[in-house]
Amino acid sequence: MTNLAELGEFGLIKHLTKNIEIKNSSTVKGIGDDAAVLNFENKHIVVTTDILAEGVHFDLSYTPLKHLGYKAVIVNLSDIYAMNASPKQITVTIAVSNRFTLEALEELYEGIKSACKIYNVDLVGGDTSSSYTGLIISITAIGEADKEELVYRSGAKPNDLICVSGDLGGAYAGLKVLQREHEVFKSNPNIQPELTGYDYILERQLKPEARADVIKMLKELNIKPTSMIDISDGLSSEILHICEESGCGSRIYDEKIPVADNTKKLAEETLIVPTTFAMNGGEDYELLFTISQNEYEKIKNNPYISIIGHITEQSKGNFLVLSDGSEVEITAQGWNHNK
């Protein structure tokens, strides 16, 4: 194993970012100077940053470093897609303690590079630093869109349909499995973790994907959402964000929320209502968006999109409608890393 002190900061950066290939014409200058140079001509630029801190956002006792690197990129790309924009570049900043070896960071960067390759994004810069508290990853993503293509959280209107891509609650279910097996391991290290049958929800937690395919599909269907957000903190928090920014209320129907069978199975095992995983869990990175009712025919039978409710006047509040017709007020109980 190679101690990081042997390389120094600049040697480490050079080592981790060697053989980086530039894919986008908007990248004029990538790694190797004081700053990257980008040329977007007449496009609007979209920029987002997320930070992942060890012990708060991830636990390395059950999170492979390669998966973590991949996920750290996806978290940011998902925000770009939620603006109906296309990600083009990222910068990566990491702070590491002296317990990490060069080989460990190579694993992390393998995941980062893999995500860049799959989503056709250029890694154009970043920084490294030491840390006394473990591993910290901060990634900034830069994207582009024509002005008229951008979608904000603030555009929802009464009677708009509320839609969601994929299924919800799977990432939180996967986290519950990992946490459960970790507790078992701590009590008896000789016991092998019981992970058979949980492949889907574990992947949802450890290696999520950003929904570039949904953005492409909506454009092919000639549908521009009236508002959009990615689901990183749970459905309840995200719909409240949209409604607050749009000055509206909402009704979401419990029986319409898409929950995968594997997620339902874990919910039954833990005696938790599956909808709770979807409403209050986090890290699904699906897209929550609203569309005009005029677009209903284009999307009604789409297997990748579920219509789960509608936007109301603000005075009507935000409620989850249960199967018996009763209503429960939606509160922001989503994923909160500061709890």
* CA separation for the pair 336, 294 (Å, rounded): 36
- Cβ neighbours of residue 72 under 8 Å, at least 6 residues apart? 50, 52, 92, 111, 112, 137, 139
Max alpha carbon distance in the chain (Å)?
65
Tell me how far apart the terminal alpha carbons of the chain are, to the nearest angstrom. Answer: 36
Q: For residue range 213-241, what is the model confidence (pLDDT) as tens digits?
A: 999 999 999 999 999 999 999 999 999 99
Last residue of a domain, one of 149, 175, 201: 149
Q: How many domains does the chain have?
A: 2
Q: Which amino acid type is present at position 175? A: L
Q: For residue range 38-47, what is the model confidence (pLDDT) as tens digits?
A: 788 888 899 9
Residues 232 and 299 grouped into a single domain:
yes
Residues 121 and 157 grouped into a single domain:
no
* CA separation for the pair 102, 121 (Å, rounded): 24
Tell me the CATH number at 139.
Answer: 3.30.1330.10
Residues 170 and 128 grouped into a single domain:
no
- Cβ neighbours of residue 293 under 8 Å, at least 6 residues apart? 159, 160, 161
Q: For residue range 117-127, what is the model confidence (pLDDT) as tens digits?
A: 999 999 998 88
Q: Is residue 273 part of a domain?
A: yes
In angstroms, how far is CA 122 from the centroid of its own chain?
Answer: 19
Given this model, what pLDDT does residue 338 score? 40
Q: Tell me the whole-structure pTM to 2 decimals.
A: 0.90
Last residue of a domain, one of 149, 173, 189: 149
Q: For residue range 230-276, what is the model confidence (pLDDT) as tens digits?
A: 999 999 999 999 999 999 999 999 999 999 999 999 999 999 999 99
What tokens does 51 get?
A: 């930070």
Tell me the CATH number at 258.
Answer: 3.90.650.10
Given this model, what pLDDT does residue 3 score? 76
Looking at the DSSP bridge assignments, the partners of residue 305 are 165
* Number of Cβ atoms within 10 Å of the Cβ of 14: 13
* CA separation for the pair 236, 329 (Å, rounded): 10
Contact 193, 255 (CB under 8 A): no
Residues 61 and 158 grouped into a single domain:
no
Which helix (H) or strand (E) segment holds residue 336: the answer is: none
Counting as low any pLDDT under 70, the low residues of the chain are 4-13, 15-16, 30-36, 334-339
Given this model, what pLDDT does residue 11 score? 67
DSSP H helices, the chain, are 8-16, 65-81, 102-118, 170-187, 199-206, 212-220, 235-246, 261-269, 274-280, 296-299
Given this model, what pLDDT does residue 184 score? 81
Full domain range(s) for residue 194: 153-329
What tokens does 201 get?
A: 């929800």
* CA separation for the pair 336, 282 (Å, rounded): 9
Residues 207 and 113 grouped into a single domain:
no
Residues in the chain: 339
Plot region of 27 (φ>0 → left; ψ -120 to 50 → alpha; else → beta): beta
Last residue of a domain, one of 149, 183, 200: 149
Q: Is residue 339 part of a domain?
A: no
Residues 33 and 114 grouped into a single domain:
yes
Burial (CB < 10 A; 0-12, 13-18, 19+), residue 184, is middle
Q: For residue range 204-214, what is the model confidence (pLDDT) as tens digits?
A: 999 999 999 99
Contact 290, 161 (CB under 8 A): yes
